[in-house]
Structure formats: structure tokens, C-alpha cells
Structure 1
Amino acid sequence: MELSNLNIKNGLCISLGANIDSKFGSPLDSLLVCKPKVEEIIKEWVDQSNTKKEENRKSKPNFIWSSIYETSPHGVENEQPNYLNTLVLVKSNYFPKPSNKKAKLLLKELKKLERFFGREEMPKGKKWLSRCLDLDILWWEDFHTVDEELTLPHPRFMNRNFVITPLSEILSRSQKITKFDDPKWSIK
């Protein structure tokens, strides 16, 4: 799907989730502690990627956070606690030019943050185990890349309600939308 069709072009989107305690406490505590750390990582990434000093002074990204949503685990075989999920849409006129290298630099910093919170590496062949923190880059502008480390846009984000619901919340803030109510169109 072309991201520009979703009114999200010129943005960076990162999802955050947790369903077990981290060294900072409950999943909610983890997300609360993580929020400013994610913003700082992105600000530093933008500043390091911009070579012009003039751009660095103007490069204050706009962070648009969703509410936090509680969701049941998706695609798991064993019983797990529910997740708390949120996402941030970042807008900036001074993002670095999209490239695989720069996207992987950001991913590396996000993975370091996961480990700082106490996330352990997943055993080979195991997917979707409980996590004290899970950070995923969902997309970065219209940039497309596919390799072993990173696929952008995230290949399954459109099929995940824990992404679509917070995304629709964020997008509805920037586009007026009201429910049309007419007796001729009645859904029961």
C-alpha cells in the first residue's frame, strides 16, 4: 500500500508495546519512561544525520503520540498477558534523506533502548514472545527497503489493530471527521 494514500507521507512512525515488567516496573511504567527516551533518540538521529548547522537549529521534530491501548496478544501460541501499545508519528521538515543505512542507525538505537529496559534476545525460531519493551519502525516517509534486519514499511502493520486503532486516532486529530446520521442508512 502506498503510504501517501493514508495521509502520512513525510513522517516517521514507531510503535511501542509491552506486556511484562521491565526494570522500570509495569508495562505502563515502561511506556511512560520510554516516551521521552524515544523522543531524544529521534532528535539526536535527526541532528546527527543533518550536515548543515542551519538545519540542526531548525530540526525540532513534532511528536504526535497516540493514547495507550490494551490489546490481547496477536499470533501467539502460548497464553500471555495483554499488551499495552501506543505509537508515535513524527513529522519534521529536516529528516535525513531516507536510506537503508540511516534507517538501520535508528533501528540500532531503538534496539539498544529495548535492551536497556531488560529485553532479552528471542531464541531462534521463536516469535511473538512476551516483551518488556518492543519498538518497531513502521514506516519512514515513502522509503521502501527489504533485508534481513529491516523491512520498511513494516510488512504487517496494516493487519494489526494495535497499530491501526492508534493511527486512526492520530490521523483523526488532523482531519475533521463526523458521523453522518440519517434514518435511510441504518445499520443494526
Structure 2
Amino acid sequence: MITKNIVFLLLGSNLGERLQVLRSAVELIEEQIGQIKSASSVYETAPWGVLDQPAFLNQVIELQTVLDPEEVLRIILAIEQELGRVRYERWGARVIDIDILYFQDLILDSARLTIPHPRLHERRFTLAPLAEIAPDFIHPVFHKSSAQLLAVCTDNSEVKLFS
């Protein structure tokens, strides 16, 4: 029997047709990586890091895949490029950003990839949609649930449901 890994991804967009870009990313992820099990609501969020840029739309999806973390990373980078991502500056404006938040309860720190995402516990725009679909998922390093991490998050950036 093939083992299917549970993966949580964060999608973000603040350039172009933001909602359509997120929808296209979700379709490509399901086609190329694995079956989506759940998806959070879409949230409009203040920029983080570089503040002088448009607001983001963010969404967290949970999926199952038979792929390994490096292969998932390779595919999401290709999807970002296909959807028009150009990397100008760290935390700058972008058509699409896809981050691996969790890969099962794996702890990985390689030159190309760190899992769990090293700053997910600091970012309300990540924790709000994550806690919506996986409030009881336990962070393998901090041993706290998504809901607990959100409750103690010191990031006061605006995160609101997108209508």
C-alpha cells in the first residue's frame, strides 16, 4: 500500500487577479501534487515584511500526496513560475507564493527546505486560515496546536475574511 503524506500549503497573492490566481494554483496543485482534502476560507491580509505593497489574499490547503518534500517543493516552484511569479525582493509583491507549512510531522532543515515553515508561528495571516481547517494539528517543534499558536501570536496585522 502506498503511503499518502498529509501536507499543508499556504497560498498568497497580491498582484493581478488575486482570487483567480489562488484558484488556478489550487487546480494545478491538485493535478500535479495530490488530492486536496480541505481548504480554508480566503483571507485578505496586510503585507508582512515589506509593508509598502498591496494587500494579500491568503488561503491554506490540506492535501494528500505520495511525493516526498523535495518533489513537492520542485513542483510548487514550477507552478509559481507558470502562474507568473518573478522573484524581485524577499517578502515583496508577487502574483503567487506557495509555502510548505507542514509535511506530516516531519522536521527537516536542509539547504533548500525547512519544514515546518520556520516563521509560521509568527504570522497571523498563516495561522488564521491554518487554525480554521486544522485547529488541532500539532506543530512538531513547539508541540502546540494551530489554535494555540494563533492564540499566542504577537502579530497584530489585519487578517479578515475576503468576501
**2:79 maps to 1:133:** no
What is the TM-score normalised by the length of structure 2? 0.74
How far apart are the structure 2 equivalents of 1:14 and 1:38? Answer: 10
Structure-to-structure mapping, 1:14-163, within 5 angstroms: 14-21=9-16, 26-43=17-34, 61-76=35-50, 79-91=52-64, 95=66, 102-122=68-88, 126-163=89-126
Rounded Cα–Cα distance in structure 1 between residues aligned with 2:71 and 2:113: 11
Q: TM-score, normalised by structure 1?
A: 0.65
* Structure 2 letter corresponding to 1:150: L
Uncovered stretches (5+) of structure 1, i.e. residues with no partner: 1-9, 44-60, 97-101, 174-188
AA of the residue aligned to 1:130: A
* Separation in 1, partners of 2:127, 2:97: 17
Once the two structures are superposed, what CA deviation does each residue of 1:30-58 show, in whole Å capped at 9, x if it has no partner? 11222111111222xxxxxxxxxxxxxxx
> Where does the alignment leave 5 or more consecutive residues of structure 2 unmatched?
137-163
CA contact (8 A) 1:39 1:63 kept: no
Cα distance in 2 for residues equivalent to 1:73 and 1:145? 27
- Aligned match of 1:166: 129
CA distance in 2, matches of 1:62, 1:136: 15
Letter in 2 for 1:63: K
Task: Provide, for residues 90-124 of structure 1, a one-character-per-residue CA deviation record: whole Å limited to 9, x for no partner.
Answer: 247xx45xxxxx211110110001001111133xx
Cα distance in 2 between the residues matched to 1:172 and 1:103? 23
Q: Provide the rounded CA distance (Å) in 1 between the counterparts of 2:69 and 2:132.
A: 25
1:172–1:105 Cα change, 3 Å: closer
Alignment: residue pair count: 133
